[in-house]
Every structure is written in structure tokens, then in C-alpha cells.
Amino acid sequence: MADLERPQIYLITPPDFELSSFPKRLASVLEAHPVACIRLSLASRDEDRIARAADAVREVAHAHDIAMVIETHLGLVERLGLDGVHLTDGARSVRAARKALGPDAIVGAFCGASRHDGMTAGEAGADYVSFGPVTASALGDGTVADAELFGWWSEMIEVPVVAEGLVTDRAVAALWQVTDFFAVGEEIWKTDDPAAALGSLIAEMD
């Protein structure tokens, strides 16, 4: 980032949720804090389940004028009326996704802690690259994406960068000056008050 504007928040859904209650929890977070994008990230591979979840989340997202992408399921983007796809295999599928979805769709790529994968994804047409985990967790191969990587990227590369993977208060404090987005999911959904939990993370940027 060229200046010290605060990173935007990118919400990730839980891997499983109740269709009857989650949209209300999501809406309460969106009403409390500005959010740039929402990613549907379900553990299920059942297309009917994914479609029903996408409908419920999309209704809330678009009511708040927020873009929504789906993790991995490239073939469902247009069918479900979504704004794009988040790919989890580094740069491998970026070019194919861009070709399939066209120039206006969002195509993002998770690249672990690999500068090379990140640069390759950017060159292939990714709208953003995400690195993580930023705190030791099971995301990717577990290699932590550190402040040095984000600092280098923000100084050298124009493609927006996302920090994700167990985003803690400490990680926000360490990275907010060198990332464009923080992707936050289970960190807040596992709490009793997701809006307050997100507010606590955002406060670390003040």
C-alpha cells in the first residue's frame, strides 16, 4: 500500500452454518462494520446445500451492496449469481478462471506464503492474492506468512494483498500497514458476539 489507509475487511463464512440463523448474524456484522467482500467457504460438496447457502448469504450481501465470491466452485459462480471465485490452489487455476468468468468477475488466489505463486497469480490475472496463515494454523501447509512477505509485496507489487488464517489482535497490529485486506472468518463466528469480536480486531488499526 502506498499510504497508511486502513485495510478493508473481507468476511469468510463458517465452513457450516444454519440457514435459519446465520443470515441474521451476518447482517448484524455488516450493520456494525464496513465490509468489502464476503466469501462463501463451505466444507460441504453437496451442490444443493451450497446453492441454498449461497442464496441466503447473497441476499444479505447484496442488500448491503457487498460483493460475494465462492471458494473453489468456479462452475457455480454464474449459476448462483455470484461476483467471482476464490481459488485455493495458488496460481494454477487463475488463467482458466479468468477465461471462464470474463474480465469483470472477481478472481482471487490463495498462495500460502509463496512470493513466487503470488506473482504468478497476479500475472495470470488475479484481482487479489491472499497469503496466510498469519498466525500458526492449519491453513495451507501451515507455513506462516510473516510481516516481511507482506511488506515486500506492498512495496513491490500492485496487485492487492489479503492477510488471512487465524487473524489475531497481534497479527492485525503487526500487518495493518502492509496489507490491503484482512480476511476474517472463524475468528469471529466462534464467538457469542461476532460484531464485537470484529470490532476488537479493527480497533488494533487505530
Q: How far apart are CA 44 and CA 131, in angstroms?
A: 23
> How does strand 106-110 pair with strand 84-87?
parallel
> Domain with 165 in it: what CATH number?
3.20.20.70
Does residue 127 register a pLDDT over 70? Answer: yes
Q: How far apart are CA 150 and CA 60, in angstroms?
A: 31
Report yes or no on 180 lying in a domain. Answer: yes
147-156 helix and 115-124 helix, angle to the nearest 10 degrees: 30
184 membership: H or E segment, kind and range: strand 181-184
Local confidence band at 3 (pLDDT 50, 70, 90 cut-offs): very low
Mean pLDDT, residues 5-17 taken together: 95
Report yes or no on 1 lying in a domain. Answer: no
Local confidence band at 4 (pLDDT 50, 70, 90 cut-offs): low
Q: What is the pLDDT of residues 129-156, one digit of tens each?
A: 999 999 988 777 879 999 999 999 999 9
Structural domain containing residue 53: 8-203
Mean pLDDT, residues 77-82 taken together: 95
User: Structurally, how many domains does the chain consist of?
Assistant: 1
What's the one-letter identity of residue 166?
L
Report yes or no on 152 lying in a domain. Answer: yes
Percent of all residues in the chain with a pLDDT value above 70, rounded to a whole number: 98
Report yes or no on 3 lying in a domain. Answer: no
Mean pLDDT, residues 180-203 taken together: 97
Give the bridge partners for 39, in sequence order: 12, 69
Report yes or no on 24 lying in a domain. Answer: yes
